[in-house]
Amino acid sequence: MNDKNLITKKYTKIGIVATLVVAVALIAGIAISGGRSGADTATALKEVSTNAVSGADLKIAVINMDKIQLDAKALQDLRKQRGFYEDKLKNRLEKEQKSLEKEKSDIEKNQDVLSQEALQRRVVDYQRRVNNLQRDLNETAQAIDASYQDALATLQKKHLDPVIEGVIAKKKLSLVIDGRMARIGETAADLDITDEVVKALDKKVSKIQMAKPKGF
């Protein structure tokens, strides 16, 4: 779970999906610009307390967004919808290619009998058709992706985010990390919450409609 934006709050997009859910703190990148020097490091660190969360106070879980992308019913259905439009675009391309190949063959066959002016007109028209086809295909492919990404964003905002946040709250978790980056020992029972998230998401939503892309 772009593909651009399935996971935009605490998670990066599915798809196209990787995530790092931090329930305790989320540290964003901070751009440091030039300016007047302040206190030295030791003085600045006086502002930092010695308080820290101890291991005994932490409840940690792991979530694998790639597995959610593959297993969740709504995401499976979305991929099928995208595939439907991609297949239609492929069929359109094949049909247009055959027409262009026929036109090219006809031009080549008649180039000796056509006047230079007539031949030039046909070549220019052929090139125009090729250029238009390429432009239309690019625009339609972009429209398919945009529609798909919009549906993913809706799924995230309305369904996936609330489910994950609900699981975090119900289990009173302190930290949830990306399962693809974690190595889980055999003794770590109930650490992976991916399957529970999938089950809850499937119960909440099994299908989300992808808007018809422009060009169809």
The answer to whether position 158 is within a domain reads yes
The answer to whether position 36 is within a domain reads no
This prediction's pTM: 0.70
Digits of tens for pLDDT over the chain (216 positions)?
444 334 333 333 333 233 333 322 332 333 444 456 667 888 888 888 887 767 777 888 889 999 999 999 999 999 999 999 999 999 999 999 999 999 999 999 988 888 889 999 999 999 999 999 999 999 999 999 999 999 999 999 999 999 999 999 999 999 888 877 666 666 666 788 999 999 999 999 999 999 999 989
The answer to whether position 128 is within a domain reads yes
The answer to whether position 44 is within a domain reads no
The answer to whether position 92 is within a domain reads yes
* Domain encompassing residue 180: 59-204
Q: Which of 167, 193, 169, 171 is nearest to 182 (CA)?
A: 193
The answer to whether position 14 is within a domain reads no
The answer to whether position 150 is within a domain reads yes
